[in-house]
Homo-oligomer: A and B are copies of this chain.
Amino acid sequence: MVSEKKRAVLLLSGGLDSTTVLAIAKAKGFSISALSFRYGQNHEHEADQAQMIATQFDVNDHTIVDIDLAVFGQSALTDDIDVPKANSVEEIGSDIPVTYVPARNTIFLSYALALAEVRKAATIFIGVNALDYSGYPDCRPEYISAFQALAALATKSGVEGSAVEVRAPLLHLSKAEIIARGLELGVDYSMTTSCYDPDTQNRACGHCDACLLRLKGFESNGIADPTEYQAAD
């Protein structure tokens, strides 16, 4: 039986960041309950990808939750709004982008909190990153701290003195550093995509914020991104 201290819930999208976090958590000896979400037609393949990765990393269990989109809308990730495209990281706007999904990380972390309580896990891992990110408010260190404070008050385990700890090991790393860390740990990044707008064969677009940040991260490491990209028009 794994002790509570070594049990963790890990939010796994199947992208570069969360897969790297999974490698880090496994390297630290955690027994992982992976948690993924299906929340819109745009990203149906993410759940399959997450499942493949969960299996490869030999997680303890993997839960996929269907998120009802009734309350959302107004995001390029859930609606018919076009995902913005650019040719370089420098062109990415500094405003909160249209790919922002209202309160998404709060909803994801709330489910993670529930699962942590059920699995008696003392830790939640999340792959948010405040450096090379797209300007989402719920990826900032102060947001993670506020959720941590909430978690201590929200649950039975918190009241009983053992609040869940939210760990975001990528928070202060650049995309290049994240990739370097993952490569050290033997992550096969060909299994991951980060694209906001993949084609029907799940090939990355190469021009959305997520693709551009990822490509630059591999470039900084002097290696090619093994993800399959759509051919240029």
B113:A102 contact, CB within 8 angstroms: yes
Within 8 A of B (CB), among A45-76: 63-68, 70-74
Give the complex CA separation of A150 and B144 in angstroms: 9
Q: Chain A: interface secondary structure?
A: helix
Contacts of A104 in B (CB 8 A): 114
Cross-interface CB contact of A113 among B103, B114, B155, B159, cutoff 8 Å: B103
Give the complex CA separation of A44 and B154 in angstroms: 25
Give the complex CA separation of A103 and B110 in angstroms: 7
Given A64-B70, A102-B114, are A146 and B156 neighbors across the interface (CB < 8 Å)?
no
Give the complex CA separation of A101 and B156 in angstroms: 10
Cross-interface CB contact of A154 among B106, B117, B158, cutoff 8 Å: B106
Which of A18-26, A134-142, A184-192 interfaces with chain B?
Answer: A134-142
Within 8 A of B (CB), among A67-92: 67-68, 70-74
Give the complex CA separation of A159 and B72 in angstroms: 18
Which B residue's beta carbon lies closest to that of A150? B146
Contacts of A72 in B (CB 8 A): 114, 118
Contacts of A218 in B (CB 8 A): none
Given A113-B103, A117-B102, are A159 and B146 neighbors across the interface (CB < 8 Å)?
no
Within 8 A of B (CB), among A104-136: 104-107, 109-111, 113-115, 117-118
A159:B137 contact, CB within 8 angstroms: yes
Give the complex CA separation of A146 and B152 in angstroms: 9
Give the complex CA separation of A68 and B110 in angstroms: 13
Query: Does A196 count as interface, using CB distance less than 8 angstroms?
Result: no
A-B pairs with lowest CB-CB distance, top 10: A103-B114, A102-B117, A102-B114, A71-B115, A103-B113, A107-B110, A146-B150, A106-B110, A143-B153, A137-B159
Residues of A at under 8 Å CB distance from B?
Answer: 35, 63-68, 70-74, 96, 100-107, 109-111, 113-115, 117-118, 137-138, 140, 142-143, 146-147, 149-150, 152-156, 158-159
